Amino acid sequence: MSQYETDRRTFLTRSAGALAGLTILPSTLFAFDFRGAGPRVAIIGAGRQGRAILGELEKIEGVVVGALCDADSSRLEAGLRRTRDAKGFTSVDKLLGEGGAFDAVFIATPTHTHRQVAEACIAGGQNVYCEAPLESTLEAAAALARAARSGGRVFQVGLDARSNPVYQLARSFFLSDAVRDLVNVQAQYHRKNSWRVPANDAAREKLLNWRLDHEVSLGLAGEEGTHQFDTIAYFTGRYPRKVRGVGSIRLHLDGRKVHDTIACQLEYDNGVIMSYDATLANSYGGRFETLFGTNAAIKLAQTHAWMFKEADAPTQGWEVYANRQQFHNDEGITLIAGATKLAEQGKLREGVGLPHPPLYYAIGDFLKSVTEGAEVRCTAEEGYRSTVIGIKAAQAVATGAEVTIDDADLRIG
């Protein structure tokens, strides 16, 4: 029996006839406060994602950012200006040797450096939050996952769908039979930007623009797709067995070899097809994942989610109280995490999306695992499996050939 089938049976047993509780009886507003624990943390990587992590950490009471590390002195200095008392380091060795004691380390370096950085932190006895994908090759990703498994400390992979309160709520609906049999999946990542960072010399250009280096970058399929492929794995408990892909450069004709527009088709063993497209040339629709079922479809858009019921699907009593939103000819039931508490505080009308980006909740969950022993939301094994899918999708896009994914690929050994 798959993990999805186990979770689904458990959910149905515990909640038969009580689907309304999913929308109107949440347990918390999902805020984090560590003033009692006061975790001291370090961030390795002061680029775009490192700065995003820093921004979310500053929202959480009790957290102390004690150190920031980056090989690029300009980015390091810019990051330090955003912190209060953090010390700056230009190498991981110096950070671990001279930075003092840390309760946790956040790794936001280029994907192809994750293994080297994370293994040094694991060897130093650190609790580690490592951004996804885990690594840029299957061998490196598997080695890192093995090191994390044997390290004896908390290791969480930055696939934040598993910590997202709205996605957790939507997944409860998915497991409840509200969607019923999955038909197919559609997902996209649309942004209009170049991925290019200005640099004043060749060495810095190579360092900062690693995502445009076809020798190390997984491109859109790996760097962005991995996160969205993991969302579907989180909901269904399944991973695709075949992937086909194509790519081209549609806008950014600046000499790059990494595609700015791709399309993939991922095929699962139960016949479900996931269609995925990503582009840096058009922003329409942004990022989302939609799971289509025989009773309803669920659309996930990071801070928001909706359920669109089929006309012949049975009506539940709780629907009388549901918030609804019109999308062209369709009406979506808005899935609101924390609805009851928001209503009690008179804040429900202020908005139905999450008050923070998904990264905030992933960081908070990781720190709860570190300080309270809470279950890790995304383990090294789970992160590895979704990284495999991202790497395989990148291979399909690069070669234009169908790539297979077997059971051995999904095991770290």
Instruction: Render 252-275 in DSSP notation, one character per residue.
Output: --SS--S-SEEEEEEE-TTS-EEE
Mean pLDDT over each residue of the chain, to the nearest integer:
91
The mean pLDDT of 87-94, rounded to a whole number, is 97
Phi first, then psi, for residue 319 (nearest 5°) are -65, -20
Looking at residue 323, what is its pLDDT? 82
SS3 content of the chain, % helix, strand, coil (to 5): 40, 20, 40
Helix/strand number for the chain, H first, E second: 14, 16
**pLDDT for residue 53 is more than 90:** yes
Looking at residue 320, what is its pLDDT? 76
**pLDDT for residue 200 is more than 80:** yes
Q: What is the amino acid identity at position 116?
A: Q
Strand, coil or helix: what is 82? coil
Percent of the chain with pLDDT over 90: 82
The mean pLDDT of 360-371, rounded to a whole number, is 98
How far is the C-alpha of 352 from the C-alpha of 289, rounded, in Å? 18
Lowest mean pLDDT among 22-36, 60-74, 99-113, 289-303: 22-36
Please tell me the pTM assigned to this model: 0.92
User: What is 166-352+380-407's CATH number?
Assistant: 3.30.360.10
How far is the C-alpha of 361 from the C-alpha of 64, rounded, in Å? 17
Q: Which of residues 67 and 350 earns the better pLDDT score? A: 67
Burial of 193 (0-12, 13-18, 19+ CB in 10 A): exposed
The mean pLDDT of 394-413, rounded to a whole number, is 97
Percent of the chain with pLDDT over 70: 89
How far is the C-alpha of 146 from the C-alpha of 130, rounded, in Å? 14
- In 209-326, alpha helices (H): 219-223, 225-236
Looking at residue 57, what is its pLDDT? 98
Q: What is the pLDDT of residues 218-247, one digit of tens each?
A: 999 999 999 999 999 999 999 999 999 999
